[in-house]
Structures are given as structure tokens and as C-alpha cells.
Homo-oligomer: A and B are copies of this chain.
Amino acid sequence: MKRPTSFDIAALAGVSQATVSRALSNTYPVSEDVRRRVYEAAAKLNYTVDINARKLRSKKINTIAVLVSEDLDSEDSRINPFFLPLIGSILDYAGDKGVDVLVSLQKQSANWGADYGFARRADGIIFLGYRDFETYKQKVDVLREIGEPWVVFGPVMQGEPDLFVGSDNETGAYEAVAHLIRLGRKRIVFLGEASERHSEFFERFKGYQRAHAEAGLSVNPALAIDCFISREEGAAAIQRLLDQGTGFDGVFAVTDLLAIGAIQTLQKRGLNVPKDVSVMGFDDLWVCTCINPELSTVRQDTTTAARVLVDTLAKLIDGEKVNMTRIPTRLVIRESCGG
């Protein structure tokens, strides 16, 4: 039983093949009577348009690729948990728009050739993942050369002054740290990488600085702990600090994962959170309300982010100009910071 083609439908409906195509694609006016006959014939033969022929002929692919970079830090999950609801929302929103989504896990080891292949599987690419600037730059340069639209969530991309989709990291961090200061915390650890290689974290560091400056507090360099984003690194960093005897009464972590690692170490060392140390995270993973004490954090709005990413990419695909979009964050106060 061969799969039916539009010619089979045409024969059954008593119209030309071209008319079948027009009726089924809803692009040209077709008489109501013909339309019904075509749909009935299609239903009877279980016919669906061959998507590959349509894509080839129309030159519209109607598919976006989501390239998620593998997260080698974490123990078992290969994708950083923050990106999971974001991917879910992208699937959701793209689904509503009738756009297919190809998802690919980008291994650190993989050469760019693999991604490059996406250039004709999708109209554009969304990059997700905590990669440093250099990694993105390489990939993005190739895409620029072949004229393939792309967008990254998170970092500010050099050489693309108008293109930014990400949270308002500076304000989010500022509000979080200002809250800790308001609670009376004076020696607040900054847990994360404060370098321009990861601009989203660097912006959070700037918010941390501004909150201190506005409160007339100086930033103690010994409290800025350079580490990446996993729970293990958060735990290890706090352990080091404790071992050194560096005193602190607050922790602002650039990810919830780091904050959770910090809390686990603090508790293991007999310290009370939030009594002895207030802890604040960033992201608002669903895990925040599973742990004890529940984690205060800066919520990133993944639903809005997904919409903005998909819409921005759609504009780029259509050759339109895009605007830099900073998505507002929201401070979520729970048990871990006391007060």
C-alpha cells in the first residue's frame, strides 16, 4: 500500500492536482464545494502533504533548531536544569505557531560541522547553554558567513549590538543583594564567575557591586569566589572559604545549583541557614521549594524568554530588524535568607 499523493486526491475529488495543493495549503482562494471534496478525499485516503516535497519546492522550512550545549559539570543530567523549562516553553510556543522544533544536544567534543549541517534543516538556530564567549563566537561567525539567523539566550554577543535576548541580570542581582543588605548582612559572598567570558554572570556581579555601592559598603575581593555553575562547585567553594576562616554572613550565588551546594556545605559544617548565613540563588528552579530551608532566588521568566527567542528568531528569518530585549526578573523571597 503506497502512500497516496496529491494526484490520488485530485482523481478522487475530481479536480486538478494544483487545486488539491491550493485547497490543502490554504494559500489561495478555493470554492467551498471543491474544498470540501478535497478534504473528504484526503481523509478517506489518510493523506497528508509530504512535508519534504513541500519544503523543497516552497523553500520554506518552517523549522527551528534548538542547540543545547552539554553540561559536563553535573553528575547525571546532561542539560543544565535551568534550560529545561525554557526548552519546554519553546516547544510549547513554537508548537502553537506551527513551527517544528529540532532539538540537538551539542557535545563539547563535537566539531562545528555537526551544527553547520543544521543550516538547511532549520530556518534558524537558538543556542542554549552556559558556554563561554569564545565558544559562541566561533559558531556564530560561521553562521554569519552563510547567512543563517541565530539567537543566543543569556550572553551579550559582541559584534551584534542590537541582538540580545536574556534576563535583566544586573537588576535581578542588584535587588537580591540589596535585600540581603537590608536584612543586615554585611559580608556577602559572590559565588560565580565574575569575568567577561560569561557576560550574564558578569552582569550579575555588577548588580552585586551596585547594591554594595548604594549602601555605602565596599566590596571585599576575598568574598568574590570564582567558580562555575554546578552544585559540586558551590559546595567546594564554600568549603574552601570556611577552611580559610574567611568570615561571611550572606551568599549570593549566580545559579540555584551553586546556592544549593552552598547550603548543603554550610549545614554539614553545623551552620544554620538563614540564622548564621543568608543564602540567595538565581533562576528559580522548581527544586527551590523542595529543599530545607526553601531557597530565595531571582526568578528568570522562562515563558517570556521562550516567546521572545522564537519571535526574535522569526524576525531575523524574515530579515527584519530586532531589538535588544532584557526580560525582567522577579525577586522571590523564601526561607533561606531569613528576615
Contact = CB atoms under 8 A, between A and B. Distances in A.
A14 interface: no
B119 A48 contact: yes
Nearest to A119: B48
Given A52-B52, A121-B51, A146-B46, A78 B92 contact: yes
B56 A50 contact: yes
A120 interface: yes
Interface stretch (A98-106, A167-175, A203-211, A245-253): A98-106
A52 B271 CA distance: 60
A7 interface: no
A48 B116 contact: yes
Contacts of A78: 85, 88-89, 92
A130 to B, nearest CB: 15
Given A78-B89, A101-B103, A286-B76, A61 B52 contact: yes
Contacts of A77: 84-85, 88, 286
Contact of A120 (B50, B74, B89, B146): B50
B84 A100 contact: no
A262 B65 CA distance: 39
**For A3, A56, A147, A291, which residue has the most chain B Cβ atoms within 10 angstroms?**
A56
A145 interface: yes
A55 interface: yes
A307 B292 CA distance: 36
Interface in A189-216: none
**For A79, A89, A91, A105, which residue has the most chain B Cβ atoms within 10 angstroms?**
A105
A138 interface: no
A48 B117 contact: yes
A310 to B, nearest CB: 13
A40 B256 CA distance: 48
Interface string A52-85: 1101100001000000100000111111010011
A241 to B, nearest CB: 21
A337 to B, nearest CB: 18
Interface string A245-277: 000000000000000100010010000000000
A120 B290 contact: no
A287 interface: yes
A90 B11 CA distance: 42
**For A51, A52, A286, which residue has the most chain B Cβ atoms within 10 angstroms?**
A52
A339 interface: no
A1 interface: yes
Interface of A: 1, 3, 46, 48-53, 55-56, 61, 68, 74-79, 81, 84-85, 88-89, 91-92, 95, 100-105, 107, 114, 116-117, 119-121, 145-147, 231, 260, 264, 267, 286-287, 290-292
- Of all A-B residue pairs in the complex, the 8 with the closest CB atoms, nearest first, are A52-B55, A91-B105, A52-B56, A78-B88, A103-B103, A292-B292, A52-B52, A53-B56
Given A50-B56, A79-B88, A100-B121, 19 more contacts: A48-B116, A48-B117, A48-B120, A52-B52, A52-B120, A53-B56, A56-B56, A75-B286, A77-B88, A77-B286, A79-B84, A81-B84, A81-B286, A88-B105, A92-B107, A95-B104, A95-B114, A100-B104, A102-B102
